[in-house]
Chain A
Amino acid sequence: AQTVTQSQPEMSVQEAETVTLSCTYDTSESDYYLFWYKQPPSRQMILVIRQEAYKQQNATENRFSVNFQKAAKSFSLKISDSQLGDAAMYFCAYRGGSEKLVFGKGTKLTVNP
């Protein structure tokens, strides 16, 4: 079974600074997708970024980028120029052949003004 591990329960960053959230996963599949979801206090799950395992190039969406290391099974999220609105729980998720999303436990990000 696939597992996703987020080793940082909580992180904090100063406004305008850069922060990296870590995620590792375990799978025997070769074809899969990885996602980062954001869950603000409203509890809505918002897709931040996705990465296809077959693509070597790291995905980027505005201030959000990933560092995908397939051999190490690592998928970290970098948030640049952090804003107060980035404060939220961030979940790393894996999706393979079974289509269901497997989530990590989450990292609570605090942004300090």
Chain B
Amino acid sequence: QLQLQESGPGLAKPSETLSLTCSVSGGSISSSNCYWGWIRQPPGKGLEWIGMIYYSGNTYYNPSLRSRVTISVDTSKNEFSLRLSSVTAADTAVYYCARRFYDTSGHYYFDFWGQGTLVTVSS
């Protein structure tokens, strides 16, 4: 069974860079029919897509966050990472990593999620 696990500091200071890693087990991050994504959820609010990456390094980012986001992949470690720069209190959220699967019918959906990790931005 595929499992994803987020890791990283639970606290970030305003104006600094938030960094998280998602470790993938039970499957290969180099699967040809998968992208690997980050989604966040501020406390009490809805889901917001941040971006995603293919094992080759191809990325898609949410236009509203593009200027501050970098997603990278390390196939040798079977993990991918998120960096969000110049954070403010508005970036406080539970951050989820997830697999976006491309099925044989040509549809894409997030079928496996990590448990999520809360990152608080505060001085």
Q: Are these two chains actual partners, yes or no?
A: no
Where the two chains meet, the residues of A that have a C-beta atom closer than 8 Å to any C-beta of B are: none
